[in-house]
Amino acid sequence: MLKIKLTPTGKKHQIHYRIVVSEENSKLTGTPVATLGHFHPATNKVTINDEQLKHWLSRGAQPTLSTRRLLNL
């Protein structure tokens, strides 16, 4: 099953996240199927490609709880 989830990137105290589509049981830093956008928690800035998000949701990808809260789904 595909999941829409956050993967951490950046330095130790300057972390930011990529919003990706990947397999449910894959590693946190594993190779994603697709990258949908970015989230910067220091500025609370979310950038996401809405067309790709709708595409993956229609194909059955399920967002994780944290991603669902972040995207207000």
User: Per-residue confidence at 72, pLDDT binned at 50, 70, 90?
Assistant: confident
What is the set of domains in the chain, with CATH numbers?
Answer: 2-71 (3.30.1320.10)
pLDDT at residue number 66:
92
Report the candidate in 7, 10, 14, 15 with the shortest Cα–Cα distance to residue 64: 7
pLDDT of residue 49 exceeding 80: yes
